[in-house]
Amino acid sequence: MVTAADLAAVRHQVIEAADRAGLPLEVVTRFTLAVNEVVTNAVVHGGGFASVTVTGDRQRVVVEVRDHGNGIPEGVTTDLPPPEQTHGRGLWLARQLCDDLTIHSDGGGTLVRLSTSPPVA
């Protein structure tokens, strides 16, 4: 289980997996930020902790973040909120920074899956 105190360790896991996958530094940085946003959301909105799984190979890096909160409230999207709104950009930002982001949410929690791959040469 991951809490707010474990965010740095999660970032290090992501960086190590991305390095093993041969991702360039820019992609590693972007993906790590995306994962940090999602894990932070899970901890803050999902009951204070989350489970995080980081896997990777030469093809891609995949991170799954699961919380056991009440799910994402209806109306919350991955769209960019209006400029006057002071919150709600985490999922939008994460979607911009990785190749794929899927969300499964219900009353028993939320599972967010992020992935990225090396750029095609």
Which pLDDT belongs to residue 121?
67
pLDDT exceeds 90 at position 118: no
Residue in 110, 113, 106 with CA at minimum distance from that of residue 49: 110
Reduced to 3 states (helix: H, G, I; strand: E, B; else coil), residue 46 is: coil
Is residue 108 a part of any domain in this protein? yes
Is residue 14 a part of any domain in this protein? yes
Burial 52-82 (b: 16+ CB within 10 A, else e): bebebeeebbbbbbbbbbebbeeeeebeeee
Q: What is the CATH number of the domain that holds 109?
A: 3.30.565.10
Is residue 121 a part of any domain in this protein? no
For residue range 35-70, list pLDDT tens digits in order. 999 999 999 999 999 999 999 988 899 999 999 999
Is residue 33 a part of any domain in this protein? yes
Reduced to 3 states (helix: H, G, I; strand: E, B; else coil), residue 31 is: helix
Tokens of 59: 């093809």
Is residue 64 a part of any domain in this protein? yes
Distance CA 106, CA 6 (A): 25
Q: Give the domain extent around 9.
A: 4-116
Which pLDDT belongs to residue 12?
97
Domain count, the chain: 1
Is residue 87 a part of any domain in this protein? yes
Locus of tokens 């919150």: 87
